[in-house]
Amino acid sequence: MCGIAGKINFSYDAEPSSIDLLKNMVSALKHRGPDEFGYYRDKNAGLVHARLSIVDITSGQQPMANEQNTLWIVFNGEIFNYLELRKILENHNHKFKTKSDTEVIIHAYEQWGLECFTKFNGQWAIAIWDNRNKQLILSRDHVGILPLYIKEENNKIWFASEVKAIFTDPEVKREINIISLQQIFTFWTTVTPSTIFSGIYEVKPGTTVVYSIEGKRHEYKHWQLSFTNDKELKNKFSFKDSVKEFEHRLLEATKLRMLRADVPVGSYLSGGLDSSVVAWLGRQTKSGTFQTFSIRFEDLQFDETKYQKMLVSALNSTHEEILVTKQDIRQVFQDVIYHTEKPILRAAPAPLFILSKLVHDSGFKAVTTGEGADEFLLGYDIFRLTKIRQFMANQPESKIRPLLLLRLYPYLSDSLFKVKGVSFEFWKKNFTELNRIDYSHILRWETTSKLANFFSDSIQSQLHNDVIEFVQDILPENFLNLDPVIRAQFLEIIILFSGYIISSQGDRMLMSHSVEGRFPFLDIDVINFLNKLPIDHKLVGLNEKIILKNIARGKIPDEIIKRKKQPYRAPDAASFLLGDHEDYVTEMLSEKNLKNFGIFDPKKVSLLYNKCLSKFSQNPDGSQISNVENMSFIGILSTQLLYKQFILTNPKTDNNILFKTKIDLVKDYE
Amino acid sequence: MNKEEIAITIANYIKKNFLFDEKKDIDHNISLYQSGIIDSMGTIELVSFLENTYKIRFDDDELIAENFDSLNAISNFLYNKLQKIT
């Protein structure tokens, strides 16, 4: 995988981008592609590429052109079906000079135009510069596995894999967007296409944007998330047939991701069902050694070592693991925020940052993971909760129906939670209002939005009245016709999954140490197939991911299939409360810095900080710190760090970068 | 000690401890659970605070929704309980 960036000036009297700017842009992305650097430059356009060599290591350099040198491409990602597409293109008389997937993209674009993006199975952020027609084409994969940001101003376009590359241009202003901050403090992430920075947007997942010299901007959807409602299904598949077809597609998806690489591909093992199945299928695709990687936690409440061990012996894999402590999380957290480029409410990305370092240090450049299964196979509690609330709404007065909540939250029947009559009240909020677009997510979003209480008065006065409007704007027209469980799934995929799970916990943590993630559950043939199945092929009663459990049986250990789903979590506030030494944490949460940055109210933050410290001193496992307190603490700390690293500080650059590929059409270049 | 004083004491505790904002007002009739001011973890903190402040102990059958849902509910229940003790 790689990093891409560029600046296009569409003005007729445009000055070409300086080599210094191109060096700065590419050096900001060095962690994404440390192997080789390249640039292309003409009067209007400057493109750069930082390469992590995985496919066609000897001749896949970028920027790359078509035969006439009229189309120039920089590309981050993998087109896994490139060999099949290449055959088709060769039949159309396209001649290839390299063995890379990059070249396939160029010829596919020549052959099919923008339609080409509907033929790709893969993960991508692509920029194509058409220097004859003066057009810039930017495209991003179906669900947004890979990042791509843009800024438009005065006839100029900047684009990059990460915002920090855009920020290396001194012409670009760096400011926090307050409404985006409010979105994060509600939804856990911004709502596409916003980013936390004013004036910087992301290319929406599944979208291609075309800019032309006349200043026109066109947006095309090459893929749309859609589900078939149960009533519209014509019973094409029996459950048994579904299982068979799913297994076939998932195996094909895993093969493409294990074998289409010129370097070995390892596997993450969390100890859960999803990564176990992916690793097991991966194991079947090749003989010889098989490499796995795991995170272990010193805190036993988060640790899954027992299940990881079972898998390692079942797979007979060569295994590397790393034990993560609270101190480790504190140590890396500044760097984590440098890479997420957005505030986060959980510390969970930090151990993944540490894990990708282990992968890198072990000499691996690519890994498969189980990401996507919980979203597309209805694995999360929020889907089961939506089902229970719907069931409660059928007989709102019932005292029996809410007892089902104990199945989801067994702790409600413990000790002091005998106040369960009280506790149930929380889950009854708006539970009969099935036609709200936020029906499934209202509890999470309202709980999280309490965090806005910590904003300073000046920020509070700039908040939007109703942030749900931003979600409404990106929903399809038929949204309310969908089953509430599918609606929950839809919201989960376009918001949390896209903006946090595969970004802050995914690409950003992997690429922080030059590791490419490959995700069989996000294969487009797998997704399209699953989205056409009836709900009860995925969630039966309160039993989740049922179709996946069916293919897992007899392959991976039964204990892993039967274990209660453990959400991936890491120690949150507790990671930052040990010891009384001064470091960046005390610095960021000091009254002086809170006041100077102006985002949070120092008094309120001090009350929270002291409450967390006091709870931590009584119980160093952090278990007494509530969900809202944890989210508030991490949200405040990460926002302060973001402000310091991106708004107050100029981006890190390295002017000693040496370009290996130089395509310079500007004559006076020495 | 009257009901109003009890309600104010609890309100101040909730403001400082759950809202982290001593200036904020809380409607005495609002459901503390439905509005998300107190979550299940918060129940433990609130009950411990009341037990320590008023030197009392709650029986299991007193820990029910009707007694804890709003500031008014808590102060009514607590006032009656304290009356019985004295």
pLDDT given at position B67: 86
Does B20 sit within 8 Å of A608, measured CB to CB? yes
Identify the residue with better confidence: A269 or B32: A269
- The answer to whether B33 faces chain A, any CB pair under 8 Å, is yes
- Beta-strand relationship, A122-130 and A135-140: antiparallel
pLDDT digits (tens, 9 = 90+) for A101-110: 999 999 999 9
Q: Rounded to an integer, what distance in angstroms lies between the CA atom of residue A131 and that of residue A139?
A: 17
Comparing CB atoms, the residue among B19, B39, B64 nearest residue A426 is B39
Confidence of residue A124 (pLDDT cuts 50, 70, 90): very high
- For the segment A387-391, the average pLDDT, to the nearest whole number, is 95
- The answer to whether A426 faces chain B, any CB pair under 8 Å, is yes
A193 upstream amide cis, omega within 30 of 0? yes
- Beta-strand relationship, A265-268 and A366-368: parallel
Rounded to 5 degrees, what angle do the CA atoms A627, A630, A635 make? Answer: 120
Q: Is residue A339 assigned to a domain?
A: yes
pLDDT given at position A230: 72
Whether residues A149 and A282 share a domain: the answer is: no
Q: Which CATH superfamily is domain B3-85 in?
A: ACP-like (1.10.1200.10)
Crossing angle of helices A326-340/A349-361, nearest 10°?
90
Q: Are A32 and A163 in contact (CB under 8 A)?
A: no
Q: List alpha helices for A222-364, DSSP H.
A: 239-259, 273-285, 305-315, 326-340, 349-361
Q: Is the pLDDT of residue A529 over 50?
A: yes
For residue A396, the enclosing domain spans 381-451+461-491
Whether residues A205 and A234 share a domain: the answer is: no
Does B64 sit within 8 Å of A422, measured CB to CB? yes
Q: Tell me, what's the ipTM?
A: 0.81
Instruction: Choose from A419, A423, A610, A618 for mutation: most chain B CBs within 10 A.
Output: A419
State how far residue A444 is from chain B, nearest Cα, in angstroms: 10
pLDDT > 70 fraction of chain A, expressed in percent and rounded: 97
- Taking one residue from A and the other from B, the number of pairs with CB-CB distance under 8 angstroms is 68
- The answer to whether B65 faces chain A, any CB pair under 8 Å, is yes
- The answer to whether A447 faces chain B, any CB pair under 8 Å, is yes
pLDDT given at position A135: 96
Q: Are A377 and A547 in contact (CB under 8 A)?
A: yes
Whether residues A508 and A602 share a domain: the answer is: no
Confidence of residue A421 (pLDDT cuts 50, 70, 90): low
Whether residues A367 and A388 share a domain: the answer is: no
pLDDT digits (tens, 9 = 90+) for A608-646: 999 999 999 999 888 889 999 999 999 999 999 999 999
- Report the CATH number at residue A324: 3.40.50.620
Q: Which residues of A touch B40 (CB under 8 A)?
A: 411-412, 417, 423, 426
Phi, then psi, of A538 in degrees rounded to 5: -115, -50
pLDDT digits (tens, 9 = 90+) for A195-248: 999 999 999 999 999 999 877 899 999 999 999 877 777 667 789 999 999 999
pLDDT digits (tens, 9 = 90+) for A160-173: 999 999 999 999 99
Mean pLDDT of chain A: 94
Q: Is residue A528 assigned to a domain?
A: yes
- The answer to whether B21 faces chain A, any CB pair under 8 Å, is yes
pLDDT given at position B45: 86
Comparing CB atoms, the residue among B19, B34, B47 nearest residue A425 is B34
- The answer to whether B34 faces chain A, any CB pair under 8 Å, is yes
Q: Which residues of B touch A447 (CB under 8 A)?
A: 36, 39
Whether residues A49 and A120 share a domain: the answer is: yes
Whether residues A318 and A434 share a domain: the answer is: no
State how far residue B39 is from chain A, nearest Cα, in angstroms: 7
Whether residues A371 and A355 share a domain: the answer is: yes
Whether residues A238 and A216 share a domain: the answer is: no
Q: Which residues of B touch A425 (CB under 8 A)?
A: 31, 33-34, 65, 69
Q: Is the pLDDT of residue A128 over 70?
A: yes
Comparing CB atoms, the residue among B17, B36, B64 nearest residue A426 is B36
Q: Which residues of A touch B41 (CB under 8 A)?
A: 624, 626-627
Could you say which residues from 41 to 60 on chain B have a Cβ atom under 8 Å away from some Cβ of chain A? 41-44, 47, 60
Q: Is residue A663 assigned to a domain?
A: no
pLDDT > 90 fraction of chain A, expressed in percent and rounded: 87
Q: Is the pLDDT of residue A418 over 90?
A: no
What domain count does chain A have?
Answer: 4
Q: Is the pLDDT of residue A417 over 60?
A: no
Q: List alpha helices for chain B, DSSP H.
A: 3-14, 40-53, 65-68, 71-85
pLDDT digits (tens, 9 = 90+) for A285-324: 988 999 999 999 999 999 999 999 999 999 999 999 999 9
Please give the structure tokens belonging to residue A563: 């274990």
The burial of B60, by beta-carbon neighbours within 10 Å (0-12 exposed, 13-18 middle, 19 or more buried), is given as exposed
Whether residues A192 and A44 share a domain: the answer is: yes
Q: Is the pLDDT of residue A668 over 60?
A: no
Q: Rounded to an integer, what distance in angstroms lies between the CA atom of residue A148 and that of residue A165?
A: 11
Claim: this prediction has a pTM higher than 0.90: yes
Q: Residues near B54 by Cβ (< 8 Å), separated by ≥ 6?
A: B78, B82
Whether residues A637 and A529 share a domain: the answer is: no
- For the segment A27-40, the average pLDDT, to the nearest whole number, is 96
pLDDT given at position A291: 97
Q: Is the pLDDT of residue A670 over 60?
A: no
